Amino acid sequence: MSELHLSIDIENLLVSRNLRHMQLAQAALQPGYYLRAAQVLRACDGCVLIGTGFPVADTFETDGPVGAIALYEALSALGAEPILVCAPPLATALEKDFRVHSLSARSLPQARQDAFDALSSLAPNAVISIERPGLCADGRYYNMRGEDISARCGIFDPFVELAQCPTIAIGDGGNEIGMGKIAQAISSLDIRVSVTSCDELLVADVSNWGAYGLIAFLGLWARKDLLGQVSPKIILDYLSIRGSVDGVTRENTPTEDGLAASTGCEVIEQLRQLTGFASS
């Protein structure tokens, strides 16, 4: 199987449940987007910024951080130096165990200056956004219920907009950073679509799973079963203890978007089968 065909299989797998109509988004993207994004990360041997964290009920949701942590560990194993970029309370929850850059700006002009300074200092090889709220046309942030969550959002969009390196974004609904790339195509969705674009947009039924699609390629090329080392349950438990909530139920449970950890494990096993690390 060619790498392009493998990418297409991964792309189809990751939207097969079509939980939030991401098959519509997929149709607007040039096939091979997981391959192209993974090729960017394959070349990274320095700093990689991974933005994540979506505010829910005065804390943070599990979708996004699970995939970000998994990708952080995979990139570290391959010699890169990832940094998680997020706002409190997620930044506070992670800073003892990971390299973290905290988002503190509360206005867009200040966020742009902070992003410019950080990008200049860190000189990342790539900037990735995983389930980060994206600015809408009115300059505000909204959740999937249409509620204005601007007051609780750190501002990551300028890191993507000002980066002088490749940018990758993962989303599962339409209101995340990166969805501006296909805003017109998904305008019919019942969501306040983000206008922030990126170089490579990846879609999945759950954003965490998009990170697994990238790890699948990185493991294949490195000849390491990197996905075999990912445990959604362990990461979900880690986050739950630190106050996370499920983004759909808004409850402090080790679940993602209303799905049990076992569902993410099933996706990982399917990806491992596609890349030859698990028997079918």
Whether 1 has a pLDDT exceeding 90, the answer reads no
Confidence class of residue 279 from pLDDT cuts 50, 70 and 90? low
In this structure, the dihedral spanned by the alpha carbons of residues 217, 47, 84 and 20, taken in order and rounded to 10 degrees, is -40
Q: What is the mean pLDDT of residues 168-186?
A: 98
Confidence class of residue 47 from pLDDT cuts 50, 70 and 90? very high
14, 267 contact by CB (below 8 A): yes
Chain centroid to Cα 29, Å, comes to: 17
Token pair, residue 113, equals: 């200056």
How much is the pLDDT for 199? 98
Q: What is the mean pLDDT of residues 242-248?
A: 96
Q: How far apart are CA 194 and CA 203, in angstroms?
A: 14
How much is the pLDDT for 278? 76
CATH architecture label of 3-274: Alpha-Beta Complex (3.90)
Closest CA to 47 of 91, 97, 84, 93: 84
Edge-first strand order for the sheet with 81-86 is: 100-102, 81-86, 47-52, 126-130, 167-171, 200-203
Question: What rounded mean pLDDT belongs to the chain?
Answer: 97
Could you report the per-residue pLDDT of 141-156, keeping only the tens digit for each?
999 999 999 999 999 9
Whether 163 has a pLDDT exceeding 70, the answer reads yes
How much is the pLDDT for 280? 54
Whether 84 has a pLDDT exceeding 70, the answer reads yes
Q: In the chain, how many H helices and how many E strands?
A: 10, 10
66, 236 contact by CB (below 8 A): yes
Could you report the per-residue pLDDT of 188-227, keeping only the tens digit for each?
999 999 999 999 999 999 999 999 999 999 999 999 999 9
Closest CA to 14 of 23, 5, 1: 23
Q: What is the mean pLDDT of residues 233-259?
A: 97
H/E stretch holding 234? helix 232-241
